[in-house]
Amino acid sequence: MEFNELQSRLWNNMLKTIEDFRNGKIQYYDLVYELEGALDAGEFRDKELIKRWYDHWTPLEILSAKKGNNSTIDDANEYLVVMEEYLRKMLSDYLSQEEE
């Protein structure tokens, strides 16, 4: 997967958004929809990347639909950990390719 500069920044912003939620800086609803907004803004073309991203995001969105801003870190943590791991792996893969 190749990211352009904007996509790389947006991918990093997704990780920051999760951190902001964990630190109580944003509410759950904002977390879920800022993540999706970053994906949309990046205009990613890789269908497999998008599918896997939504596989990780969908449980977060379902929790948002069920509990909204009443969702806590404890409620979402297992989903957040998986999403963070995915985001970091894809970013690491991109950075590795850039160094080659």
Q: Express each pLDDT in 25-74 by its tens digit.
A: 999 999 999 999 999 999 999 999 999 999 999 999 999 999 999 999 99
Q: Domain containing 67: what range? A: 5-99
Contact 62, 75 (CB under 8 A): no
Helix, strand, coil percentages, rounded to 5, for the chain: 85, 0, 15
- In the numeric block, the tokens 């080659």 are attached to 100
Return the H-helix or E-strand segment holding 53: helix 47-67
pTM above 0.85, yes or no: yes
Amino acid at 44: F
Residue 82 has pLDDT above 80, yes or no: yes
Percentage with pLDDT > 90 across the chain: 83
